[in-house]
Every structure is written in structure tokens, then in C-alpha cells.
Structure 1
Amino acid sequence: MKFKIFILGLAVLSFAGCKKILEPEPENLKTIDQMYTDANFAQGFLINAYRTIPAYYDNSEYATDDAVTNQLTNGYLQAAAGSWTSTNNPASVWNQSYEAMQYINLFLENSPKVKWATDAESSRLFNLRMRGEAFGLRGLYLYFLLRNHGGIATNGQLMGVPIVTAYQTPKTDFNIPRATFDACVKQIYKDLDSAEAYLPTEYNDVSAASQIPDRFKTFTGNVETYNRVMGQYARQLFNGLIAKSFRARTALLAASPAFQNSANTTTWADAAEYAGRVIDYKGGANALPANGGTYYANTSEVDGLGGGSNPSEIIWRENIITNDGTQEGQHFPPSLFGSGLMNPTQNLVEAFPTSNGYPINHPNANFSATTPYASRDPRFAKYIIFDGATAGVTNAVIKTGSASGTDNGINVRATSTRTGYYMKKRLRMDVNRNPISLSGKIHYNPRIRYTEIYLDYAEAANEAWGPTATGTRSYSAYDIIKAIRKRAFGFNNDPYLEECKSDMAKMRELIRNERRLELCFEGFRFWDLRRWKVDVAKLNETARGLDVNGGVYTPFNAETRAFQQYMIYGPIPNSEILKYNQLLQNQGWK
């Protein structure tokens, strides 16, 4: 495997034999030994692992039935068009993950020797916390490796990736085989167990010694010491709640059809149990944040963030960015001085129900093809800019028809939509990209949302016990979907949900569609279709658009797909296969 030995961009020196006379002193280079007396240098190994966490907004939707892009050089567009290979893989996280684990493993092997603080209690507590972070991050990276590179290998077995829990030196034998998928899942759980044992569920200050969690009282009974290490100062670092959430993510992946076989011990009940722990911590099925569906545009909430605090919808996020308009510059329509990169498809638009909650093809939907945007699911207008919708600080009307006479029309410019739609989700409409009056706003990127975990539970509980059974919890898949749709539609009676609750297959389709809508443009669809092991025809569903001119709605095909069935699983990088004969490729990949 490709393990690069980096230490914060500095060389780790190893000396053999006598030093040459007049050889310059390595004044600007640090050795591993120096981390023992330089706590900031030691912590830097861990910080470096945070820097390469895979992006939440990976724009993989460009290779699904949810969106296309006008950026014709985009890796996901090219992958969908037939250029996805083991040497050209936009979804690869191989190198960044193993490099991050190098930092983590080096840190774990050396952290007990570091003088973290002048007083012994703080030093021991800092070491405990940072080891917990390190274990959690190692589990995180192994999860992404498993999701993106696990699969059926050429030996016919369900395989994961090589498990590396020790720091690799130049003398290490890198030619090691892939571990089984089940072994990787168990290793993730083991690392997350350590993270939960060493970390508080969340980082909050305490005001009295009695509020210090019991497991930390053996380290300190001093409020100031606890708050210094485990208090709000540490917010947005890996914590116990994040570990619980990655356990739920891992179990959902492992329980899914693409990864189910006799060698995999994870069940749907396991996945429901782990997601349920997070939901219980939040307060149950009815604790779903009321404004969680518009987390990106809750302006007063976002503008008021401070002290590392989270909006109620967010379990983990990246740091806030002030005076920012990057997303808007990338995705606003051209009339709003954007590049219009994310173009939602007609396929996705048709997945939004009508305002009474019925799918548009249901007899009770009251859907009209002559006024297709009227009386639709409220999420539609919040997530997608369609012909006639308003957007931007001036509430400008956006016309997307090819004959509309505006730059926003289909294929008018290189930055125009290719489908008749622009993405609205993720964007703040109060950002101004006009160069004459350019102004940005506060933004943050999520890493985990509560809505995702609620949907994880609904899917797993339905598969484990059916729509209305509760298993080990006090709520069912039906209860969770009822809460999600109540938030979306605002109604108390949901006749279509009632229609589905007696049929596991119908509930499955409803849950999957709710997941598609609630998490659209957030990097889930590409992976969901694969873990569900959908037929290749679904992977290759043509991305469609809708041209609106003079009240006439003309559907058209925007982009075709060229996936093969073996592409349910991503490849191991070909460069690694060529170097190491113990490393087996997934079936079908060259």
C-alpha cells in the first residue's frame, strides 16, 4: 500500500553512522522525540488527521439520477459517462485515509510520553481526550475506506481493506492482504468503543464538581481542570456522540444488501439499535429539529453561532466561515453571478410528492402536468430553483427555458443549466455575488446531521421488524417517517403514510424516497444506490430535464449513464494492485 511518512510537512530524521564534518544542523527539522516536550507539535499530528476528513458535500450527485453538472471536466460526470476506472476514480479516499492513519498511529504510539500540561491532572486528561479523538478518527477513516473500496474481490469473497493499527516505517512490509469486510466493521467498532470510553458525549463546561462525568472523576475533581480539557473549548473535536453516529453509519452500510452474506454478522436490528442510541440521546422520535430541513438557510441561527456551538440539527460540523459566498458563486444561476454547477434533474423533481403527500403518479395526488410546479411538497421550492421561481437578494425571477432570452436558459452559456433547474439547497439567498456590491455571509458545512440518523433508523427498523414494530425502542420506522413528513408538510394527517404502514415493501420505497429528498445534494445518493444493490438499469437511469417555454413543458434527455453492474463496489487503486501482490482487486475492475 501507499503509505507516505509525513510529520506535519517536516522530515523525521534518522541518522546512521557518523555525522559528516561541516554538515549543516537540521535547524528547522523536528524529530519524533521532540513531541514529548512540545505539546503543540504533538497535537499537530492529530490536527493533521482532521484536515483530510472526506468532504460532506462531495457533489457525487453528478453521477446519479439526481443531478448533472455543466462542468464537463468534473470527475463524477466523466465517471458516469464511462470513464470510471481503477486509475481514474473520483470517489477514491485511499491515499488520504491511509496517510491520515499514519499520523493517528504515530500519535497513539507516542502520546503517553508527551507532557501535555504542567499539572499532572490536566496532562493525564489531555492525553485521555486526544487518544479518544485519535481512536475515533481512525474508525472514521476506516469507515470511508470500507464504503468506497470494500466489495467482492477477485477471490469471490466480501472483502474490506487492509487494517493498519501500527505506525508504518520504511522497514515495514506494506504487502499485506485486505481484511474481510466483517473484520473491518469489528475494527471500526473497537476504535469507536475506545473513543466513547475516553471522550464525553459532548464538550460542555460544568459548574460544579458533581457534574463531572463519573468516569473522569478519577482523573480530576477540579471544575477548572475539567473545563480546560473537556469543556466547550474542545467543541467540534471528535466526541462520544460523533462516535455513536459513525457506529450507526457503519452498521447501516454493513446491513445493506450489497454487503450482506454469511461472513458478515451485522444485522438490520444492529443498525436500528445503534441509530436508536443517537435518537434517544436527542430525545426520541418527536425531537427531530423543527428547522432541520433548512439547516443551511436558517439565517439567524447560523449568524448567531459562536463558541463552537451547533445548531439543533447538527451533530458535527466544520468550522464556520465568515463573509463567505463560495457555494453561491459555484451554484447560483448566471444572472446571479454564479456558475450554476449543480443542475437537479427532472427525475429528482418527480420524486417530490404533491402537497397532500401522495407521489405524483398516485391516483389521489391531484397532480397536473400542465402546472407541474403547483401544489407540490414544500421541500421542492426550498431545495430547487425552477422556472418562475425567485432567488437571490433581490428575489429575481429565474427563467430557465431555452427560449427565455436570459442567460439562465438551458445551455445558453457554459454556466447555464443543462436540465432546466438550479440547486437552491446549501445556498443562502442573502449572499450577493454581484461584483459591484459583493457580500458574503456566515456558512458552515455539516459532517453529520440528526436527520440522517433518524432516516438510518427508519430504514433499519423497517427491514428488521416491519413498519410499525418498535424492536428495542419506543418508536417505529413509521413513527420516524411520520415526524419527518410532518416537519416537511406541516400536516397532522398523512393518508399516504397510513397507506404504506401495513406493507414493508411500500414503506421501504417511501423511506428511500424520503431519504432521497431530505438528503439531496449532500453526497448520499451515489452511495445509497450502491449499498441498496439496485439493478444496473437504475444506476443507468437517464438524467432528464424539462424545457419550459410559453407555458409549454417539453421533457428531454440531458445525460445518459454508462455504469456496469460490478460498479456497485468501488475499485482499489490500480497503482496499489500493481505494487502489492497480496492486494486483491474487486471483481470487474481492471
Structure 2
Amino acid sequence: MKKKLFLASIVAIAMMIGCKKGSVLDQVKTNDQNESTTFADSARTMQFLTRIYTDIGFSADPRRFGASVGIYSIGDETESNLTAGTAFNIIFQTGGISAINIPTDAWFTTYANIRRVNLLLRNIASTPLSTPLQKRVAGEARFLRAWYYFILLKHYAGIPLIGDAVYEATDPISGKRNTYEACVNYISSECDAAAALLPKAYVGLDYGRVTQGSALGLKSRLLLYAASPLFNGRSDNMDGVLGYPTADVARWTKAAQAAKAVIDLNQYQLYDLPLDPKPGYGFQKVFTLRKNPEYMLALMMAPNRSLESIWDPASRSGSASAWPYQELVDAFTTIKGLPITTDIKSPSNPTGYDAANPYANRDPRFNWTILPNEGMRLNATKTISPVYTYVGAAQDGYGTTSTTKTGYYLRKMLDDNTINNTSSATTERCFPLMRYAEILLNYAEASNEAGDVVTAYEQLKLIRKRAGILPGVEDNYGLPDGLTLIPMRTIIQNERRVELAIEEHRYWDVRRWKIAETVSNQTLHGMKVTKVGTGTPATYTYDLINVRTPVFTAPKWYLWPIPQGEVNKSVDLLQNPGW
């Protein structure tokens, strides 16, 4: 079989599922393909697999909830520019979500793809693919099935497992939910089975397919969630559907071992550019490269300006759809890796935090994630210039109906050489779904909770070194000596917040840690920046402002409700508590 470009296949698949233009009364030639003819052809078999891949990034999609609202806009990371009462960011943040109006993609998209996987696996042995390729395709399919099941699990806890069944429209289907433990065991075993069938890496045109590391990485994420407080021991467990009835610290040990298995592949590393004059530039650059040693799974994309179009401010031809909250801004430490509340600038500490110049001397990831007042971005004349967010500033300033309400714009993952402009270059960006930095943080967290704080130190140092934080005289990158479990836990949670910001982690992290009822009920803030006088350089005052007080009702909001329409179809399908 002639080799085909994987990315091209993903783009081409849209042509297979598109509609013919014209009147709805026009005669349309129907597709004459069926199960038999599809899997009798090698190219069609591979196209069928590609169709399963196309939805792999839906839960992390920056436009998941319509327009430009991603999951980062329904938590405590960013305020959205959408204000209509029907916008999902408003419905979520004001507590208006119910089992009737909850987005259904987490249920329908996942089960649709699980069925496709089962259909492919039912036919794989009879396809004309070579035996080695059959095995690899089976491994890809089993990973994808595990991936979609995990998305279900993090939204709803225990869900119905259907095994290899392929149900038809008239088949009776039990809606009985499996226990959380059974779901974890099943997904974990599927990850192991997929890993045994998949290569460590691909060369040439197959780059972007799932690998052994993808499978083991998903297992790491799965077991980390399973060990977390939300699921690891809960009394309101609906006969085990919502979590393990009894907490067990050994689950943290298993999570640590799963992360270590990925590390031991020696296949991945943090992308770093230590000789670059811009500190932490490897952290920024990795998001603009199609191929790099850090990505373990990505949503493959054609050259694009997708994020620039929705996150850049108006002066950079963007729609400025997401504005970071001050709480995310304050999570970034100083350049020394110390909290801004303790590392204060003084004559003897010139690189400490300065409230009069709050964006100087910060963790370099700050300026690669947040675009504050005077933050630098490419403009339409293809030069780098500051973006002004102060009150009354042209185009991007605070206080109008279409500009930032927090004093900030998003900068993360945007290409230095790209804006949403027809004369601008495109970027090679592929949206990250799993990267090695997450595995190191998984290993740090699980090790710390299992009593191994030394290992946690080691992983955090690697992360902070790549970030461009100063090592300090003890090479601790701002980490205090002698940390015990709880202080280290606090640091790890903050490290995940800044390293993995806007990558679909924070929303689920605060839930699995069971801190959402605290952090998701607090008023979220912005910064009102006011220019003082006309001097050069400009001086500003900074005033904290209230932006939104979201609603989080515990305990029901720790899990999503199953769409009520699905619950109505089966007396066996029990709704999550409170919904």
C-alpha cells in the first residue's frame, strides 16, 4: 500500500463526511460503502482509522463550547469575551448548567468513536493490511478507545463499559454504569495492550500517530486521577461508581510507577534552548513546532494561525477572546522561583517582586503565557512592539466593550512570527494533548503523595530549569530545603498551574484535588492599569478589580451530569448525585 501523509488524511477525511451543495430537494448520490467494502480495501481501512483520530482533541479544543470558549474559560484561568446569557462560559460560571443543557460532546463524541474502534477491531484481521500493520492499527485503535473512555471517566466517573460490542440501532443496550475501579482497570489494561503493539516512534509520513509512549502516558494520567482525593476513597460512591470506597496510599505508588515507565522509555525530553538569550524560550518554542522531543500526543494540524486568531488583541488582528485572571498571573513566581508574596524587591534584593513594576523579574513562563501592559508582540508591519492595556489605550486598552476586562491577553502558544493577518506567516503548531512536562509533574505529585519527596524535588528542578528560573547558590531553583508532604504538595499544584496553563489541566486538577469548592467560589480579579503623566519611560498605577464570582455547588459540581436525554432512555443509567 502506498504510504499516505497522515496529516493529509485527516484533512481529506472532511471531504468524505461533507455535504453536497444545493437544494435539500436535490437528488444526492448516496455513499455505496458498507462495512464489508470499507474493510476489504486497505486505503479505506486506514481512512476509517483516521476518522477516529479526528475527534481526539475535542475536549481540549479552544473552541469546544462554541465560538471561542474552551474549558479554560469556564474555570479560574481566563474570562471570555462572550457575555450573552446563552454563552456556555456564562452558563457554567453562573451555575446555570443542568442535566438538560449540559454540553453533550463528552458523552456522544466519545461513545461514537468507541463504537468506531470496535467496528474496526471486529474487522481488522480480515483486512488486506499486512500482519505487522494490522497489529499496529489494532494498537492505535485500542489506545484511542482508552483515550475516549478516559474523557468519559473524568467528566462522569464510572460509565458503561461496552467491551468490543458493536450495537446496532435496534439492539437493546444496558445503561448500567460500571464501578470506577472497573473502568480504571479496563482503561489501564487497554493502555498496556496498546503499548505492546505500538512502536516507540514513527519516522517520515506517519509522524503524529499514537506511540507506545502515548499509551503509557495516558496510563500515567489515569492512575494519577484515580489516586487523587476526589476518587480515592469516597463514601457517596453509588456502589463504587463514583470512586473507590476506601482510600489507599498505594494508588499513589502505582501512579508514580506509571509515570516512571514513561521516563524509562528514554524517548522524550523537555524541549530546551539553553543558549538562547531569552530565558525559558524552549518553553515557548515547543508549542510552535510540529515535531519536537516533548510532545507525546498532539492534535495534528495543517499550518495555521488558529490561536493567534482568537487570542491576540485587536492591534494584532485577533479577536481577543480570552483574558487571564489575576489569580493565574499571581501564580507565577519571581525569576528566583519564589512566591511574589515573599520575594519582595529591596536594595539588597533587586530582582524581587516590585508592586510598582509587577511584570519585571518574573518566572520567564509568565511572559510566554500572559500578555500584560507593554508586553511585546509582532504587529502588522512585522516588527515587535508593545501592547498597551492601560485605561484608554488605543485598540487594546482596558474599559471598552471589546477589550480586556482583566488587564491581560493570552500569550501562550502564540508564534513570535505570526499574527492573524493575511501577510503574516503561519505556524507549524499542533495543539498539545500530552507532553513530557506533564509526566514529570505526574511523577513529582505521585511520588510526593507516596512519601518520596526527594523524587518530587528532582522533577520540579528539571521543569524549573527549562523554564529559565535562576538556579540559586544551591541549585534548588527556588525550592526551599526540607519540604515535607503538604508544603511540597502546594508547590506542585502551583507548578502544574503555571506549566500546564490553558492546556485543559487546571479545570480537572482542582476537581480531582477536591479544592474546587474553595478556588471556584472565590471572586476572580483583574488589574486596572492607569497611565500616569506623559513621562518617558511611562509610569503606571495598578489597582486590583473584581471581574467575576463564579458559582460552584459542592459536591455535585465535582462531576458533570450525564445528559438527561440519555438517562431517560434507560432505567439502569443512574444520574450523578445532585443532578
Relative to the length of structure 1, the TM-score reads 0.81
For 1:245, the equivalent position in structure 2 comes to 217
- CA-atom RMSD, angstroms? 2.6
SS of the counterpart of 2:418?
coil
Q: CA deviation at 1:164?
A: 4.1
Post-superposition CA distance 1:118-160 (Å, at most 9, x none): xxxxx2112111111111111111111101111xxxxxxxx34
Q: CA deviation at 1:371?
A: 2.0
CA contact (8 A) 2:417 2:424 kept: no
Matched, 1:289 2:271: yes
For 1:425, the equivalent position in structure 2 comes to 412
SS of the counterpart of 2:428?
strand
Counterparts of 1:198 and 1:442 in 2: how far apart (Å)? 29
Post-superposition CA distance 1:73-129 (Å, at most 9, x none): 54234211222222222484110000001111011111111222xxxxxx2112111
CA contact (8 A) 1:86 1:573 kept: yes
Post-superposition CA distance 1:341-382 (Å, at most 9, x none): 111111111111112221011266742222212222121112
CA contact (8 A) 2:309 2:419 kept: no
Counterparts of 1:385 and 1:351 in 2: how far apart (Å)? 15
Q: CA deviation at 1:448?
A: 1.2
CA contact (8 A) 1:76 1:90 kept: no
For 2:462, the equivalent position in structure 1 comes to 483
Matched, 1:349 2:329: yes
Gaps of 5+ in 2: 1-15, 19-26, 63-69, 234-243, 275-279, 346-351, 533-539
SS of the counterpart of 2:148?
helix
Matched, 1:136 2:143: yes
CA contact (8 A) 2:337 2:479 kept: no
Matched, 1:268 2:252: yes
CA contact (8 A) 1:353 1:359 kept: yes
AA at the equivalent of 2:565: S
Match of 2:509 among 528, 533, 541: 528
Gaps of 5+ in 1: 1-7, 11-23, 117-122, 151-158, 205-231, 469-475
CA contact (8 A) 1:291 1:313 kept: no
For 2:131, the equivalent position in structure 1 comes to 124
Matched, 1:580 2:570: yes
Match of 1:360 among 340, 344, 347: 340
Matched, 1:277 2:280: no
Q: CA deviation at 1:335?
A: 1.3
Q: CA deviation at 1:184?
A: 0.5
For 1:97, the equivalent position in structure 2 comes to 110
AA at the equivalent of 2:318: G
Counterparts of 1:273 and 1:408 in 2: how far apart (Å)? 48
Q: CA deviation at 1:294?
A: 5.2
SS of the counterpart of 2:434?
strand
Counterparts of 1:49 and 1:354 in 2: how far apart (Å)? 43
For 1:257, the equivalent position in structure 2 comes to 229
CA contact (8 A) 1:290 1:487 kept: yes
Identity of aligned residues (%): 31
Counterparts of 1:42 and 1:363 in 2: how far apart (Å)? 59
Q: CA deviation at 1:289?
A: 3.0
AA at the equivalent of 2:492: I
For 1:458, the equivalent position in structure 2 comes to 444
Matched, 1:68 2:79: yes
AA at the equivalent of 2:226: A
CA contact (8 A) 2:188 2:219 kept: yes
Counterparts of 1:419 and 1:500 in 2: how far apart (Å)? 36
Match of 1:45 among 42, 45, 48: 48
Matched, 1:571 2:561: yes
For 1:33, the equivalent position in structure 2 comes to 36
For 1:338, the equivalent position in structure 2 comes to 318
Residues 1:571 and 1:92: Cα distance change in structure 2 (over 3 Å) = farther
Counterparts of 2:560 and 2:480 in 1: how far apart (Å)? 37
For 1:179, the equivalent position in structure 2 comes to 178
> Which of 1 and 2 has higher RCO (CA within 8 Å, sep 6+)?
1
Q: CA deviation at 1:296?
A: 7.6
For 1:472, the equivalent position in structure 2 comes to none
For 1:372, the equivalent position in structure 2 comes to 358
CA contact (8 A) 1:45 1:104 kept: no
Match of 1:516 among 497, 509, 516: 497
CA contact (8 A) 1:335 1:408 kept: yes
Q: CA deviation at 1:173?
A: 1.6
Residues 1:326 and 1:283: Cα distance change in structure 2 (over 3 Å) = closer
SS of the counterpart of 1:362?
coil
Residues 1:554 and 1:480: Cα distance change in structure 2 (over 3 Å) = same
Counterparts of 2:549 and 2:31 in 1: how far apart (Å)? 54
CA contact (8 A) 1:145 1:161 kept: no
Post-superposition CA distance 1:222-276 (Å, at most 9, x none): xxxxxxxxxx443222221110111101111111110112447770011110111
Residues 1:448 and 1:52: Cα distance change in structure 2 (over 3 Å) = same
For 1:213, the equivalent position in structure 2 comes to none
Residues 1:54 and 1:319: Cα distance change in structure 2 (over 3 Å) = closer
Residues 1:559 and 1:584: Cα distance change in structure 2 (over 3 Å) = same
AA at the equivalent of 1:184: C
AA at the equivalent of 2:549: T
Residues 1:535 and 1:140: Cα distance change in structure 2 (over 3 Å) = closer
Counterparts of 1:147 and 1:500 in 2: how far apart (Å)? 35
Counterparts of 1:169 and 1:396 in 2: how far apart (Å)? 58
Moved more, 438-447 or 353-362: 438-447
SS of the counterpart of 1:465?
coil
Counterparts of 1:288 and 1:27 in 2: how far apart (Å)? 49
CA contact (8 A) 1:275 1:453 kept: yes
CA contact (8 A) 1:501 1:507 kept: no
Post-superposition CA distance 1:374-402 (Å, at most 9, x none): 22212111211111222114222211122
Counterparts of 1:333 and 1:545 in 2: how far apart (Å)? 16
CA contact (8 A) 1:500 1:507 kept: no
For 2:486, the equivalent position in structure 1 comes to 505
Moved more, 171-180 or 287-296: 287-296
